[in-house]
Amino acid sequence: MKAAVVVFPGSNCDRDAYYALRDVLGYEVDYVWHAEPRLNGYDLVVLPGGFSYGDYLRPGAIARFAPIMDAVRAFAERGGRVIGICNGFQILCEAGLLPGALTRNIGLKFICKHVYLRVENDETPFTRLFRKGEVLRIPIAHGDGRYVCDEVTMHQLEVRGQIVFRYCAPDGTLSEAWNPNGSMQAIAGVANATFNVLGLMPHPERACEAILGSKDGRRILQLSG
Amino acid sequence: MFTRNPQSWREMGLSDEEYARIVALMGREPTDTELGMFAVMWSEHCGYKFSRPVLRLFKKYREALEGAGFENAGIVPLDDQLGIAMKVESHNHPSAVEPHQGAATGVGGIIRDIFTMGARPIAILDSLRFGPLSESRNRYLIEHVVEGISSYGNCIGVPTVAGEIYFHPCYSGNPLVNAMAVGLVPLSRIIPARADVPGSAVMYVGSSTGRDGIHGATFASETLGEDQQEKRPNVQIGDPFMEKLLIEATLEAIETGAILGMQDMGAAGLTCTTCEPTSKSGTGVEIDVALVPTREPNMTPYEIMLSESQERMLLYVQAGREEEVAQVFRKWGLNAVVIGRVTSDGLVRVRHRGEIVAEIPAHYLTKECPTYSLQAEEPAYLREVQQLTIDELPQPCDWNEVLLQLLRSPSIASKRWVYEQYDWLVGAQTVLPPGKADAAVLRLRNSEKGIALKIDGNARYCYLHPYRGAQLTVAEAARNVACTGAMPRAITDCLNFGNPQRPEIFYQFEQCVRGIADASEFFETPVISGNVSFYNESERGAIYPTPTIGMLGILERVEDCIGAGFPEAGLAVLLVAPLQNDDPLMGLGGSEYLAVVHGLERGTPPALDLHAEKSLHRFLVQAARQRLIRSAHDISEGGFAVALAECALIEGIGARVQLPLHPHGFSAWQATPPPSEGSRHDALLFGESPTRVILSAEPALVSALQQLAAAYRLACHALGYTGGDKIVIRVGDAPLIELPLARCQKAYEEAITL
């Protein structure tokens, strides 16, 4: 497996993703600078978390114009697998590679803590190692993670199974008390219509080793087949 | 006698004598730019003119002053490859005036202090003190200080891993915001703040220079007055995105090997970064301020030399390799401009479009800064407040209610509302996060070792007995780190006091420094860096003397680290304590219980048994290393009962314990406790005798643990077991406390939400 971790000015989870992919999963990994126009020879492209361009204007709003994004779009159109984590998810939404938008958390504060996620679709390339309904414990760390979209989009997401993860209680039930940022339908992660692009607010790269309190993130980054 | 109006130097904080000294040194009156440069460099904030004679009590500081130099003084070797750099700094006055930016730039400044040495910043800690939450101004301050730290630290991708927050009326009007940063540096790549080589380039990198923060160092060196809102222009504005770029670019540029020296532009900006390194190296420097990138047109040399705009560094670069270094910064979208050269004439020469606007021998600004031996006088209040006759204190009848009241006290209650706003996990190295242990523990990539970090203060103790209070603060910080299984190794301190020109304040300062120095030498945890913050006063008076102690501990194997919470049911609960305790107040003097329940801040804090304390640290490290314990939590504010409740609340595992009756808060309890008629339940439950830790352990390992404790000359008592959903404390046969965890949790978790 060969993975690329894209580095924007202000990315700050690039190193964490790099080490998780290289040291835990044993992939070959390259950092790819935002100004690069090409992405060749990769099995996976990761847009890491952080504050690209200082979150100026809106999280992800400037990063979407970086030269590398044309390459990411082309890579995705060829069927390549792309994961956007946290700020990476925001960038994918801003770039139109994923539907919807991520807005200010409902409590208006940054939140960093472990949350519980329910796997809603276990047939995507990112979730084949899970079973539907399985509950994962993975940390979040964001100020702008409230997922919103229009009704038509929401209907499509549900019908096509593009909702991949939802925030839930430890037993897997859904309730507003366990939805940390007020996301519509408790959405924590969505895929595109062809399921090769995934965006999620929680940080799987921070949950790959027992010493950090959870290994549940490993299987999201571990691509089968 | 002088042509200049005295008002001009007085407004900059210089005395008439100091101005006369400048004129005598220079042999002429200074130019405007020169006067500004003297004023900031001779402020207490930069020149330590009042504190330096006392700081010599710190061994490392004394050695550095006497020739060893400060270069590597702030770095603790981890092994033969890597070192840990750490430092704490206050940003109290800016935060009082503009809490968000004040706190944010406090974080930014201390982070730059770390990577300017070549270290990658890996952790932030913060120690905060505010007036009571009942006042709306204080709620405003805490909300925006936390937001400032969160917005800055989260954005630059450095985790905020630990801290402390206290509330007391003495901080209304003058909150304390102390930020600490920790970094990891390859020992072969430490960059000094020096300019050794004449001819090397002086390179300005980072943000452009604006008019913000001019005379910030002077502002820090005076008391906040009613005009504090007018000081808002003195507060700098932070840009964490720029800082993040600066961190990455600087660390990448160091890899070229062409950077010979470096200093960040913090207090006194370009003035400090030109005169300090050249003064240390015995060289000189010549710069042209017209080359400095500015945010506004027509900035004067005075403004450029004194600006404290954030996110700027000054580099000393090997001649001929300027472009190589500049390219790295340009890749990151940052300014990188050669503004001058190192010379060998000992002068700081500042030109503006060629014309000389300042020319001062570098050491006039640094070594010639006057130092003053201020007068210390024992404050009149001390004798009065130390009086406490505990026999006259009525004992409450409902112990459950007292425990809940203490858990709800904001200084004790859960700080979850705060730390969940901080990204404590970015970097993926945080093994024990906030709320889980007595100190944060980080693993380190490419090393088996781990580090434990904590920052602590106990202002009430220091108010009641400055020397003892400071010692107890050091002891608690060391104990907290040891509770995770780490050996306490080094200290960085932030010394927050009132106006030192008042003899009673200077007495507090001197006594506290003495207490820290003595304890740190005894524990073999040298003070390797620090900061002095005076003039913490408002119209309501001076703050309590508040030294805060940042402590570094090292774990030989990070996977041996221990949390504070009971991890499961069925474990033995034990108490480790010294064999002897002669405190006549049984740990009640200056306790949180006394303050919260009786409204008294009186009595003397307990004396510290240094030998027992140091033994306890070593015992804890061994117990963790030998995997004899499952959790360890020290007893501090709120005493045994609060500590036990905290152990239970962390993972939601209850406990049932029985304490023997004993007049000394049972810390002196031997194998067969002597029963006592006059013992006080409040002292047993809520006394704060130091050097005590609550452990949990597999029942089968209790005797091994007791043997280990005996070898360290400590008492180790099995008190009961973990399990259930209640906290039950019996004393003798009497059930004093029986509370459902859920009620404790509600009290503990809901006290701080804004």
Q: Supply the DSSP string of B484-497, one letter for each residue.
A: TTPEEEEEEEEEE-
Q: Is B245 on the interface with A (CB under 8 A)?
A: yes
Structural domains of chain B ordered from first start: 1-55+191-369 (3.90.650.10), 373-413+563-754 (3.90.650.10)
Does A54 sit within 8 Å of B241, measured CB to CB?
Answer: yes
Q: Is the pLDDT of residue B723 over 80?
A: yes
Q: Do A110 and B244 touch (CB under 8 A)?
A: no
* Overall average pLDDT of the A157-169 stretch: 98
pLDDT value at B232 more than 80: no
* Assigned token pair, A197: 């692009």
Question: Residue B664: what pLDDT?
Answer: 47
Length of chain A: 225
Asked if B424 has any chain A CB less than 8 Å from its own CB, the reply is yes
Chain A residues with CB inside 8 Å of B430's CB? 212
Q: Which of B117, B137, B140, B141 is nearest to B129 (CA)?
A: B141
pLDDT in tens, B251-308: 999 999 999 999 999 888 999 999 999 999 999 999 999 999 999 999 999 999 999 8
User: What's residue B668's pLDDT?
Assistant: 44
Identify how many contiguous H helices and E strands chain A contains and give both numbers: 5, 11
Is B154's CB within 8 Å of A203's CB?
Answer: no
At B487, phi and psi to the nearest 5? -80, 125
| Shortest Cα–Cα distance, A180 to chain B (Å) | 11
Say if the Cβ atoms of B431 and A212 lie within 8 Å.
Answer: yes
Residues of A with CB under 8 A from a CB of B: 9-10, 12-13, 15-16, 19-20, 49-51, 53-56, 109-113, 139, 141, 143, 203, 205-206, 208-209, 211-213
B342-364: pLDDT as tens digits: 999 999 999 999 999 999 999 99
Rounded to 5°, the CA angle A24-A28-A33 comes to 110
- Alpha-carbon distance of B260 to B190, in angstroms, equals 10
Would you place residue B410 in the very low, low, confident or very high pLDDT band (cuts 50, 70, 90)?
Answer: very high
Interface contact B240, partner A, CB < 8 A: yes
Q: If you ran DSSP here, which 8-state letter would residue A24 be given? A: I
Q: Judge: A110–B445 Cβ closer than 8 Å, yes or no.
A: no
Contacts of A110 in chain B (CB under 8 A): 150-151, 154, 421-423
Tens of pLDDT, residues A115-141:
999 999 999 999 999 999 999 999 999
Which residues of A belong to the active site? 86, 203, 205
Contact between residue B177 and residue B145 where contact means Cβ atoms under 8 Å apart: yes
**Burial of A137: CB neighbours in 10 Å, binned 0-12, 13-18, 19+:** middle
Contact B421 A109 (CB under 8 A): yes
User: CA angle, B450 as apex, B448 and B452 as ends, to 5°?
Assistant: 170
Contact B392, B301 (CB under 8 A): no
Q: What is the mean pLDDT of residues B207-222?
A: 77
* Sheet of A135-142, strands arranged across: A28-33, A2-7, A44-47, A81-85, A197-200, A187-191, A163-168, A111-119, A135-142
SS3 assignment for B103-138:
HHHHHHHHHHHHHCCCCEEEEEEEEEEECCCCCHHH
Residues 519 to 558 of B: which have CB under 8 A from any A CB? 558
Contact B243, B152 (CB under 8 A): yes
CA B526 to chain centre: 14
B677 pLDDT tier (thresholds 50, 70, 90): very low
Neighbours of A155 (CB within 10 A): 11
**In whole angstroms, what is the distance from residue B514 CA to residue B470 CA?**
8
Comparing C-alpha atoms, which of B627, B753, B639 is closest to residue B694? B639
Contact A13 B157 (CB under 8 A): yes
Q: What is the pLDDT of residues B101-138, one digit of tens each?
A: 999 999 999 999 999 999 999 999 999 999 999 999 99
The three state secondary structure string of B712-732 is CCEEEEEEEEECCCEEEEEEC
CATH number at residue A88: 3.40.50.880
Asked whether the beta carbons of A57 and A16 are under 8 A apart, the reply is no
pLDDT of residue B204: 98
Rounded CA separation B458/B358 (Å): 45
ipTM above 0.85, yes or no: yes
Strands B487-496, B527-533: pairing is parallel
Question: What is the per-residue pLDDT for B581?
Answer: 84
CA B455 – CA B434 distance, rounded (Å): 12
What is the reported pLDDT for B71? 66
* C-beta separation of B594 from B561 below 8 A: no
Residue B660 gets the label, from left (phi > 0), alpha (psi -120 to 50) or beta, of beta
Residue A41 C-alpha, separation from nearest chain B C-alpha, in angstroms: 25
DSSP-assigned letter for residue B569: T
* DSSP H or E segment with residue B530: strand B527-533
Per residue in A48-98, pLDDT tens? 999 999 999 999 999 999 999 999 999 999 999 999 999 999 999 999 999
Give me the pLDDT at residue A35, please: 96
Beta strands at B120-130 and A101-103: parallel, antiparallel or unpaired = unpaired
Q: Is the pLDDT of residue B599 over 90?
A: yes
pLDDT at B582: 84
pLDDT band at B479 (very low <50, low <70, confident <90, very high): very high
Using the predicted structure, report yes or no on whether residue B669 has a pLDDT greater than 50.
no
> What is the rounded CA–CA span in Å between residue B409 and residue B236?
34
Q: What distance in Å separates the CA atoms of residue A225 and residue A124, rounded to the nearest whole number?
A: 11
Q: What is the pLDDT of residue B674?
A: 41
Query: Of B154, B445, B484, which to mutate for an interface test with A (greatest number of A Cβ within 10 Å)?
Result: B154
Q: Which chain A residue lies closest to B561 (C-alpha atoms)?
A: A211
Q: Are A158 and A111 in contact (CB under 8 A)?
A: no
Quick one: pLDDT at residue A96? 98
How close does chain A come to B506, measured CA to CA in Å?
41
Q: What percent of chain B has pLDDT over 90?
A: 87
**Rg of chain A's alpha carbons, rounded to an integer?**
16
Instruction: Using CB atoms within 10 Å of the CB of residue B118, give its burial: 0 to 12 exposed, 13 to 18 middle, 19+ buried.
Output: buried
Residue B210 has pLDDT above 50, yes or no: yes
SS3 (DSSP) at B114: helix
Question: Which of these, B142, B107, B222, B85, lies nearest to B533 by C-alpha position?
Answer: B222
Classify burial at B64, counting beta carbons within 10 Å of its beta carbon; exposed 0-12, middle 13-18, buried 19 or more.
Answer: middle
Distance from CA of B531 to the nearest CA of A (A): 29
pLDDT > 80? residue B225: no
Please give, rounded to a whole number of angstroms, the shortest distance from the CA of A185 to a CA of chain B: 23
| pLDDT number for residue B437 | 98
Contact (CB, 8 A) for B242 and B312: no
**pLDDT class of B518 with cuts at 50, 70, 90:** very high
Q: Say if the Cβ atoms of A9 and B245 lie within 8 Å.
A: yes
Give the distance from CA B99 to its chain's centroid.
Answer: 18
The residues pairing with B657 across neighbouring beta strands, listed in sequence order, are: B720, B729
B241:A206 CB<8 A: no
Chain A residue whose CA is closest to B432: A212
- Residue A75 C-beta-side C-alpha neighbours within 13 Å: 24
* Backbone conformation region of residue B183, classed left if phi is above 0, alpha if psi is from -120 to 50, else beta: beta
Structure token pair of residue B31: 């130019």
> CA–CA distance from A162 to each of A1, A120, A124, A126, A187 (Å)?
25, 9, 9, 12, 10
What are the tokens at A192? 């595109």
What is residue B450's three-state secondary structure? strand
% residues pLDDT > 70 (chain B)? 94
In single-letter form, the type of residue at position B663 comes to: P
pLDDT at B380 exceeding the cut of 80: yes
> Mind listing the pLDDT tens digit for each residue in B543-564?
999 999 999 999 999 999 999 9
Q: Are B694 and B640 in contact (CB under 8 A)?
A: yes
Tokens found for residue B479 = 């104990």
Residue with tokens 């101005």: B19
Tokens of B232: 């808002």
Paired with B546 in beta bridges are B496
Residue B217's pLDDT band (boundaries 50, 70, 90)? low
Average pLDDT, chain B: 93
Residue among B191, B187, B183, B184 nearest B81 (CA): B187
**What residues contact residue B568 under an 8 Å CB cut-off, 6+ apart?**
B630, B651, B653, B722
Give B577's strand partners: B715
Instruction: Band the pLDDT of B61: cuts 50, 70, 90.
Output: confident
Domain assignment of residue A142, given as a range: 2-221
**DSSP class per residue in B312-374:** EEEEEE-TT-HHHHHHHHHHTT-EEEEEEEEESSSEEEEEETTEEEEEEEHHHHTTTS-----
Q: Which of B241, B310, B330 to mutate to test the interface with A (most CBs of A within 10 A)?
A: B241
Q: In angstroms, rounded to a whole number, what is the distance separating the alpha carbons of residues B198 and B92?
A: 38
Q: Residues with Cβ < 8 Å from B391, sequence gap 6 or more?
A: none
Residue B259's beta-bridge partner residues?
B317
Q: Specify the range with the lowest mean pLDDT, choosing from B165-174, B416-425, B672-681.
A: B672-681
Query: What single-letter amino acid sits at B576?
Result: V
Closest listed residue to residue B101, CA positions, set B148, B134, B57: B148
Q: What is the distance between the alpha carbons of residues A85 and B734, in angstroms, rounded to a whole number?
A: 55
Sign of CA dihedral B496, B158, B650, B612: negative
Number of independent structural domains in chain A:
1
Q: How confident is the model at residue B233 (pLDDT cuts 50, 70, 90)?
A: low
Q: Three-class SS of residue B29?
A: coil
List of chain B residues whose C-beta atoms are within 8 Å of the C-beta of residue A170: none
